């Protein structure tokens, strides 16, 4: 069985509702987290993301200025100086399946529908910490692999084409993000 040392993790929480921020802060602190930064809109969250370089982002969807979906898209910029790989957990009152697909296509790592529970939040955090997925970059997408399972029983068109061309080694973008300019 695994446990997370929450006191080593830095969180950025983005929700325009002060009550929900309080709930999230309470849950994260009681899990053991010490560093929890909060913002009430997407624009401030993006600034805080660059400044604090959090390990995990937890964001609402519906927010003023720009929303959680746009925040995810802005974080998932492979050419940016920041860290485009941080896990993003979208916590939202939207509860339709199509919303999950839209969030996934914006590069969100995990989706958690409200009402929030301690167990649901803990499981999502454990999943992003213990089971990070590779990232996929295409012309239209950059984010965690949207295929969570590989199934030999899949019947349908193969949308990813082309054999392996080459393997490149690059320094970690995280190192790049944390190098002072």
Closest to another protein by CB, 138 or 151: 138
Instruction: Map the footprint of another protein across residues 113-152, applying CB under 8 A.
Output: 113-122, 128-130, 132, 134-139, 145
Q: Is 43 a residue that touches another protein (CB under 8 A)? A: no
Calpha distance 85→173 (Å, rounded): 8
Question: Should residue 32 be labelled a site residue for another protein when binding is judged by CB under 8 A?
Answer: yes
Window contacting another protein (CB under 8 A); options: 40-48, 68-76, 148-156, 162-170: 162-170
Q: Judged by CB under 8 A, which of 152, 164, 179, 180 binds another protein?
A: 164
Distance of alpha carbon 10 from alpha carbon 38, whole angstroms: 11
Rule CB under 8 A: choose which of 12, 27, 45, 106 binds another protein: 27
Please report, for residues 13, 36, 118, 167, the alpha-carbon distance to residue 26 in angstroms, rounded to integers and kept in the order given: 12, 10, 10, 44
Shortest spacing between CB 110 and another protein, in angstroms:
13
Residue 10 makes CB contacts below 8 A (sequence gap 6+) with 35, 37, 52, 53, 54, 55, 56
Give the CA count within 13 Å in the CB-facing half-sphere of 134.
Answer: 4
Site for another protein in 48-87 (CB under 8 A): 53-55, 62, 85, 87
Smallest separation, CB 23 to another protein (Å) = 6
Residue of 35, 55, 33, 57 lying closest to 44 (CA atoms):
57
């Amino acid at each position: 069985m695994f446990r997370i040392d929450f006191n080593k993790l830095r969180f950025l929480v983005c929700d325009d509702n002060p009550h929900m921020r309080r709930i999230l802060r309470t849950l994260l602190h009681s899990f053991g987290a010490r560093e929890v930064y909060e913002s009430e809109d997407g624009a401030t969250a993006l600034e805080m993301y660059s400044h604090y370089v959090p390990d995990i982002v937890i964001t609402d969807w519906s927010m003023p200025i720009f929303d959680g979906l746009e925040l995810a898209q802005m974080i998932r910029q492979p050419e940016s100086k920041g860290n485009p790989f941080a896990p993003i957990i979208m916590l939202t009152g939207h509860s339709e399946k199509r919303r999950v697909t839209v969030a996934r296509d914006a590069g969100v790592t995990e989706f958690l529908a409200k009402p929030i529970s301690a167990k649901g939040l803990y499981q999502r955090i454990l999943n992003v910490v213990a089971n990070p997925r590779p990232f996929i970059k295409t012309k239209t997408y950059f984010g965690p692999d949207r295929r969570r399972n590989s199934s030999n029983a899949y019947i349908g068109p193969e949308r990813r084409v082309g054999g392996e061309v080459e393997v490149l080694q690059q320094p970690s973008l995280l190192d790049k993000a944390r190098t002072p300019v």
